[in-house]
Structure 1
């Protein structure tokens, strides 16, 4: 039995019903290695719309001197700040409309703090009143929120010092933390020092800041260690880790709270030890037990 092999070109023609593709190396080089010829067109490298990040940074510099990428930071790059949204803005500018912002600032300038339903005259001569809830007032008043990293201490030890510095001036609390017998004092002092640096960036007076709230909580994942005991017994020693949170505020909040307390005292009724009624019994000169 003889077997005949058909040529490869005839096999391709019989299977696909068309002539086989044929291209030489010279044609491929002319068409930029494209086997389809004029069907597709290779875009030149000069017409790229996107460039590498390094090329875009290099183009930011002047033609005479090279651009130093290492000098680009978040503090000196205004376009990067606008893109990320880290430009420092007050809560009044973020949350209030332009008209309410003018009324709020005029009210604070007039009274030293914001008073609800207080008539205010703007520069245009128009008079307005603005009423805000207690939650809105807390959000609009200047404040700072601080949080620490993982600290090696316990709730009981930390709470002793945190209650001591609560309500204290920030600079005074930093001094107390440096010389306090508790080790957590130095960690809290470092945390408050970071708050002082951030206050300068936000345009707040760090000397007037006070600690409105300060607390601690468990940081989780406490380290465990075996505690060997007598008679073949063992226990487990837990090494606690905590974190500290603090809220710093300005004297504007103190003035508002003092005024609200005074108004609350004025609204109270007079307290009398005896009821304001006629006596319906006879008074005697001695007590009867």
Structure 2
């Protein structure tokens, strides 16, 4: 049954001869098997973009489970809204795309500026000013976790073996003996010139 995988142009009549049917099959375009996964957003929230950006920086390059647990335990007011959005992403992947949320991670997370409402600010001596009620929203883009190949493991092992820390087995002695606490002073006394007292720090 090729009809479910191909879209037949309308100008061809499938009830005609075999030549028309072959031409329709040759020009037919295969249907896409999966829809692209869109970006997800929290919607406008009553917070400033600067405060919300701290949460966006926190969940980047995290898996969905790690990001949700992090947002539920963070000491920020809007962390719960971000956690609910990440939970909704997992349900959408399971219901609409038949995917497991454990196979995805947050590739990008950025903050958008919403409406800044202007309100009256009452001050002393009959004066007034303007205050702003900021709004912002957070968007995330998810991507499937790529399995690590053997080449990545070999490169990681090569970089690890390339830099080897050398342990010193002998104590380090100063090249020039410490003859005085004032190295710019020329000492001519016998107690400083004596090699037995070369490594002993003394005060003049």
**TM range, smaller chain:** 0.5 to 0.7
- 1:259 is the counterpart of 2:152: yes
RMSD of aligned Cα (Å): 3.2
TM-score, normalization by structure 1: 0.39
8 Å CA contact retained: 1:144, 1:195: no
In structure 1, the partner of 2:120 is: 226
> Counterpart of 1:199?
93
The equivalent of 1:170 in structure 2 is 64
DSSP 3-state at the match of 2:39: strand
Residue deviations 1:175-204 (CA, integer Å, cap 9, x gap): 222232212111111211221122112122
In the aligned structure 1, how far is the partner of 2:72 from the partner of 2:33? 30
Name the structure 2 match of 1:35: none
Q: Which runs of 5+ in 1 are unaligned?
A: 1-86, 92-142, 272-284
Residues 255 and 239 from structure 1, CA distance in 2 versus in 1: closer, same or farther, beyond 3 angstroms? farther
Give, in whole Å, the separation in 2 of the partners of 1:155 and 1:239: 11
1:237 pairs with 2:131:
yes
Q: CA 1:250–1:222 in 2, change beyond 3 Å: closer, same or farther?
A: same
CA contact (8 A) 2:56 2:138 kept: no
TM-score normalized by structure 2?
Answer: 0.54
The 5 A counterparts of 1:130-169 are 144-169=38-63
Q: Which residue of 2 aligns with 1:213?
A: 108
Provide the rounded CA distance (Å) in 2 between the counterparts of 1:173 and 1:217.
19
| Structure 1 ranges of 4+ moved more than 4 A | none
Matched position secondary structure for 1:152? coil
Preserved contact between residue 71 and residue 83 of structure 2 (Cα < 8 Å): yes
Contact 1:144 1:249 in 2 (8 A): no
Aligned length: 132
Partner of 1:182: 76
8 Å CA contact 1:149–1:243 kept in 2: the answer is yes
Higher RCO (CA-CA < 8 Å; seq separation 6+): 2
